[in-house]
Chains A and B, each alone.
Chain A
Amino acid sequence: MTFDSVFTKNDLAKYPFLKETAHYLSPLDLQIEDLISSSMSPILDRAMERVTSAIVDLTVRPLISEQGNKYEIKDLQKELVSFPVALMLVSATENSLIKKRYALAEAKQASHSLSLESKDFIFKIALDFGWKITLAPSGSTFEFVLYFSDFLQNASHLHDAKWKLINSKLSEGNVYLNTRAVVRLLQEEIKRRIEKRLVTVAIDKYPPEISELADKLAIIASEHIKQTELEFPKVVVPEAFPPCITVLYDAASKNHHLPHIGRFALTSFLVNIGMNSESVTDLFKSFSDYNERLTRYQVEHIAGERGSGTKYTCPQCSILQTHNVCKNRDDLCKRIYHPLKYYKIKSEMSQQNTSEKIIQLTKN
């Protein structure tokens, strides 16, 4: 088979998410049933290793042999094929935390490897993702010129102020960047591609042998991945509301007008911290434009009890800032990105204070 290759097989083993790997993989016509055969067992082992190290310490160490400064991958074919097999295993766990973790670990590994590559090579990788990008002429104070929409699709998910478009070197539709920044943005792009692939490789029923491996991974995950799902106190603690929500909550309680985005932020915040739809609907009862049927419908929709069944999460801080809903920012606000996170920390702090007070009281 011949094709115009941009990358060597060593490159593809190192960056197995690239489109070109298909030229090596499609002739194999790999099916899930094939994985059980004994000839596949070294590949399956390597795939398990990939996922396990991703879960345990968020890395995917490549199988390398040091040759001088350059590192070459041992057994290219095995390394290359182990990636799609790992995707199947991860997908078989049907565990969103493992999926996220695996995509992140692969992306981080790729980004680490990319940081050691030449600008030309990074440029080729960016093209694989369809970026509108050019190399800056030598002698410039920046290294890459990237079209703003490619920049935004990746940078908008990063929290640091330096990634905001308003702080970028934007001119005539292009953002001027250094190599480090481009590699960081590529990491986001790689993560997204892997997450997408995890969706497409999913099937309804896995062979028992694969399910068994998936169960093993789930056990490892339960031991190593900290539950990132936010857990809130059983009762609502209004004193722990972030300032923006306090403003909205007070306004709603006093029957004051709230803009749509404010109502949405308040409702989604309250249903997410565990207030039932009934109580949230009651909160809006005193509004002059209150319509019980409509309000109930909207609240239940946000709570995921209607329509598509997805529970809406509360908008993150930066969105509330954009729409001028963010009010009275305090010191804790500066350390978090999400109103729910604020509530989690503050409610835990107040719980601690309460228990400390109780201890104090019993001592006295």
Chain B
Amino acid sequence: MFVSSRDFVCSKFQEFYNDPSTVIPTPTSFEQREFAYLLFKERFMVRHKRLENIQDFQKILARTVPSDVYHSCAYYENPDLEMDKKCWIGSDLVFDIDADHIPTLCGKIHDEWACQKCGFNGKGVTPAECPICGSDKFSTKTWVCDFCIESTRVETAKLIDMLTKDFGFADNELRVFFSGHRGYHVHVEVDAVRSLDALSRKEIVDYVTGLGLSIFDKYEKKNHAKGKKQTDGTKKFSLYDYGWNRRLKVGMRKFLTNVTAENLKNFGLKNNNLFKNKDAILSRAIAGGRWDVISGVSVATWLKLAEQVKILESANIDTVVTTDIHRLIRMNGTLHGKTGFLKVEFPVCQLDTFDPLTQAIAFKKGTTKVLVSDVPEFRLGEATWGPYKNVKVVLPTAAAIMLILKGRAEVAN
């Protein structure tokens, strides 16, 4: 990013925080949280700040102009002291779903990577090692598309289903946010979760991601002669109506209702009886609990199906965020330094209809002329732009800022 472009974005961020119509929602229990922000120009993280009131804080943001603003998920006696003197009281239960960590429908074909050692570059998911020189150091330029956001929305929906049905949280106890980049955050702030330690949170993560489900061990028998584990065919397969057992049943129903024989084969489920007996499985086993009446489906096949369904039904979250009881999380109503979009809250019930690329736009006025290096077609609000390659174009300010922050454009003189 050229200095002129950075100065331009910085001035726009400053305008935003200076604007009296900008209202940053006050976080709950703000007096017990640590606040932090990353300075735009210096790239320095200011930490251990205590918030007196939101108006003063907004003035500080307008003066210092950070690219990113955070607060702790944790509550402390002394949020403004060093870590070992803070005195932890509790922490929100927080989930982060980010396209960076999950396979997306777009295959990230719009992301660019370049080997830092030999300069070899390409598009899509960054490889583990450079195909030319074997180095694993890459510089990357990510991009946000509707598919990335849709993929994270699907994961968020699965998470919310677990949090409400299995964990019993009411819709109004879940705070759902668009992260400002390409994902969602879910915060749970109820008293019951605040005191959970890191190990308890790890258990919640394992639940959400489907890790350690012992249904697969239950039917194992050890073949001592070979020292290998085998499926014990004498045990009858069944699922009960709680927790992941119920989730597997619901998942099997969804999966089998729409499945074709071809699909099943693609999933590695080669047993024809699964498809032939589909209706009986749906009505008698899954709905009626009579697993024993299904003939020709072995325990091994049931387990294979369950494994497949587990993968489909588990939610892909960033495991580190949820287990970290001192985590800093982006502050609601502030700008994201990779896009210039806002972190925005919306009601759980609007997860399907909320459009981040319309409703998270902070800079709604004006246009800016930029020199765009290379971008695919993209959408902001109702309008689409591009694709562009090495051209000067006049774009809405929000689009220009996003392109500059993504390293795909510079301000044109």
Contacts and interface: CB of A to CB of B under 8 A. Distances in A.
A324 interface: yes
B207 A166 contact: yes
B279 interface: no
A323 interface: yes
Given A149-B192, A153-B196, A322-B323, A161 B243 contact: no
Contacts of A155: 203
A170 B205 contact: no
Interface in B79-95: 83-84
Interface in B183-208: 192-193, 195-197, 199-200, 202-207
The B interface is mostly helix, strand or loop, or mixed, namely helix
Contact of B244 (A152, A167, A256, A318): A167
B169 interface: yes
Interface string A300-340: 00000001100000000011011110000000000000000
A27 interface: no
B319 A161 contact: no
A267 interface: no
B203 A152 contact: yes
A170 B84 contact: no
Interface of A: 132, 147-149, 152-153, 155-157, 161-162, 164-174, 176, 256-257, 260-261, 288, 307-308, 318-319, 321-324
A172 B192 contact: no
A307 B196 contact: no
B84 A308 contact: yes
Interface residues of B, number: 41
A349 B320 CA distance: 34
A324 B205 CA distance: 12
Contacts of B242: 168-171, 176
Contacts of B214: 161-162, 164, 166-167
B203 A164 contact: yes
Given A155-B203, A165-B206, A261-B320, A172 B243 contact: no
A346 B81 CA distance: 43
Nearest to A160: B214
A322 B320 CA distance: 9
Contacts of A166: 203, 206-207, 210-214, 243-244
B323 to A, nearest CB: 7
Identify the 7 closest CB pairs spanning chains A and B, nearest first. Answer: A173-B168, A169-B242, A152-B200, A170-B243, A308-B84, A156-B199, A172-B168
Interface of B: 83-84, 116, 136-137, 165-169, 192-193, 195-197, 199-200, 202-207, 209-215, 217, 240-246, 319-320, 323
> Most A CB atoms within 10 A — which of B202, B210, B213, B320?
B202
A167 B210 CA distance: 10
Nearest to B244: A166
B113 to A, nearest CB: 13
A307 B207 contact: no
A350 B149 CA distance: 51
A2 B210 CA distance: 52
A323 B319 contact: yes
> Most A CB atoms within 10 A — which of B196, B205, B206?
B206
A322 B205 contact: yes
A172 B193 CA distance: 15
A352 B18 CA distance: 71
Given A173-B168, A321-B211, A165 B319 contact: no
Nearest to B83: A307
A161 B83 CA distance: 34
A322 B204 contact: no
30 contacts: A148-B167, A149-B192, A149-B195, A149-B196, A152-B196, A152-B200, A153-B196, A156-B202, A157-B199, A161-B217, A165-B203, A165-B204, A165-B206, A166-B211, A166-B214, A168-B242, A169-B245, A171-B165, A171-B166, A171-B242, A172-B166, A174-B168, A257-B137, A288-B116, A307-B83, A318-B202, A322-B205, A322-B206, A322-B323, A323-B323
Contacts of A171: 165-166, 168, 241-243, 246
Nearest to B204: A165
